[in-house]
A = this chain, B = another copy of it.
């Protein structure tokens, strides 16, 4: 601890979280009702900015400018326009500056809902049932934005504020590039630690994978299907390429390639064919197809080397195909160029003390020791850890079916995380009276 906190502060903070928890659920419901998929984050960001402003935080709100970030390490290419890519940061400036500064980070963007008929209740009309809040983004990760905000509220309700600067970040683009978090870095936001309440079941994330996104574009000679023998089917031409990519996926997962954090996982690196589109007319041999791929890499694995191998695998498979040989696929990078990141490899004193503080806060709030986990996804933690020398603690509530139907977050878990977050803030930053 940075200072001697009143011995009853943890209990009072927990009580304060309990007292406001109905309001927190109402906040989370309203936030989840904003359908903040890529390019449509504005209304959710308006709501976040208003909530922060009401509480007295200084608001910094800006549109991401590619010119300011595209040269930076960690940048991911984008195909879509950035007119609607707006970050919001709420700043708390401590009066006393006694403690250690903190970034509370969360992303506002959510992935698409998919076919609505597969949801039991509409994805953007959140509902609370049996202790769960259902809705797209409720878990990933608007619950985390709520725990960051209501943890601060708990201090406020006791007449306290963090005794160091706190930057509350609500960022876009976590689900496709991470350029929202990168833009926060480029804008000068740094701190002694970062907390990101992604929904990994109250575990402290020790390591995360890197992710590469790419599209494979195939074009061919279409014709009337009556002469199908003379035309090449650009949809079916994709199948052997996908098969070859899965073979690569299996090679990369081989035991000898796994770093320690993932040594126990047979298949940490998943290759996903996430989208496909091709052809225009049932009775025309399709002239084109495009499929989207997400492939994971281990921490320490080079993005450039991974890309080179991906390209080689696709082109080698294409050259074995009479049609594709004469019309080689085009590979387009349309998102994540994300390196892996392992907090477990951060041997700094700052990291050790941040982890220790979170251990203590979790124990104190929940009565349980804080478990560790390596995750098979990426988060914005990499920007803090890899490019800003800032230990990034990924620690959030339990959620299910993130990216799926009937996504839901466990509200009791959210309550525990909110309490632990409040205790962590008080410990890490110290407190001062308002």
Contact A274 B283 (CB under 8 A): yes
Which one, A52-60, A150-158, A399-407, is touching chain B? A399-407
CB of A175 within 8 Å of the partner chain: yes
In this complex, what residue of B is CB-closest to A199? Answer: B224
Does A284 lie within 8 Å of B403, measured CB to CB?
A: yes
What is the CA–CA distance of A288 and B277 in the complex, to the nearest angstrom? 12
Any B CB within 8 A of the CB of A289: yes
**Contact between chains at B275 and A292 (CB < 8 Å):** no
Stretch at the interface among A67-75, A95-103, A225-233, A383-391: A225-233
From A7-15, A109-117, A127-135, A420-428, give the one contacting chain B.
A109-117
CB-contacts of A50-105 with B (<8 A): none
Are B222 and A404 in touch, CB under 8 angstroms?
Answer: yes
Binds B, one of A235-243, A343-351, A354-362: A235-243
Give A293 to B274 CA distance when docked, in angstroms.
22
Query: In the complex the two chains form, is A270's CB within 8 Å of B111's CB?
Result: no
A328 at the interface (CB under 8 A from B): no
Interface string of A291-303 (1 = CB under 8 A from B): 1111010000000
Which of A140, A176, A233, A274 has the most chain B CB within a 10 Å cutoff? A274
A243 to chain B, nearest CB (A): 9
Main secondary structure on A side of the interface with B: loop
Structural contact, B288 and A282, CB atoms closer than 8 A: no
Asked if A219 is at the interface (CB within 8 A of a chain B CB), the reply is: yes
Residue contact B111 to A283, C-beta cutoff 8 Å: yes
B residues near A112, Cβ cutoff 8 Å: 280-281, 284
| Contact of B223 with A404 in the complex, beta carbons under 8 Å | yes
Contact B277 A277 (CB under 8 A): yes
Shortest Cβ distance from A118 into chain B, in angstroms? 6
Check A272–B377 contact: CB distance below 8 A. no
Please, which residues of chain B bring their CB within 8 A of the CB of A336?
283
Instruction: Decide yes or no whether A341 CB sits under 8 A from chain B.
Output: no
Say yes or no: B276 contacts A278, CB within 8 Å.
yes
If A274-B279, A274-B284, A285-B403 touch, whether A294 touches B225 (CB-CB below 8 Å) is yes
Residues in B whose Cβ lies below 8 Å from that of A286 = 273-276
Contacts of A375 in B (CB 8 A): 226
Interface residues on A, range: 35 or more
Cross-interface CB contact of A280 among B221, B275, B282, B293, cutoff 8 Å: B275
Say yes or no for A307: interface residue by CB 8 A criterion: no
Indicate with 1 or 0, residue by residue over A184-228, a CB within 8 angstroms of chain B CB atoms. 000000000000000000000000010101000001011111111
Q: How far is the CA of A227 from the CA of B267 in the complex (A)?
A: 10
Complex Cα gap A223–B400 (Å):
9
Contacts of A270 in B (CB 8 A): 225-226, 228-229
A284: which B residues are within 8 A, CB to CB? Answer: 111-112, 114, 272, 274, 403-404
CB contacts (< 8 Å) of A282 on chain B: these are 176, 213, 272, 274-275, 292-294, 334-335
> Knowing A280-B114, A287-B115, A294-B282 touch, does A225 contact B401 (C-beta < 8 A)?
no
Task: List 26 A-B pairs, Cβ < 8 Å.
Answer: A112-B281, A112-B284, A114-B280, A115-B219, A115-B287, A140-B224, A175-B283, A221-B404, A222-B405, A224-B377, A225-B294, A233-B273, A235-B275, A235-B291, A236-B242, A273-B279, A273-B286, A274-B280, A274-B282, A274-B285, A275-B278, A276-B278, A277-B277, A283-B336, A284-B404, A285-B404
* A interface residues (Cβ-Cβ under 8 A, vs B): 111-115, 118, 140, 175-176, 209, 211, 213, 219, 221-229, 231, 233, 235-236, 239, 242, 267, 270, 272-289, 291-294, 296, 334-336, 375-377, 401-405
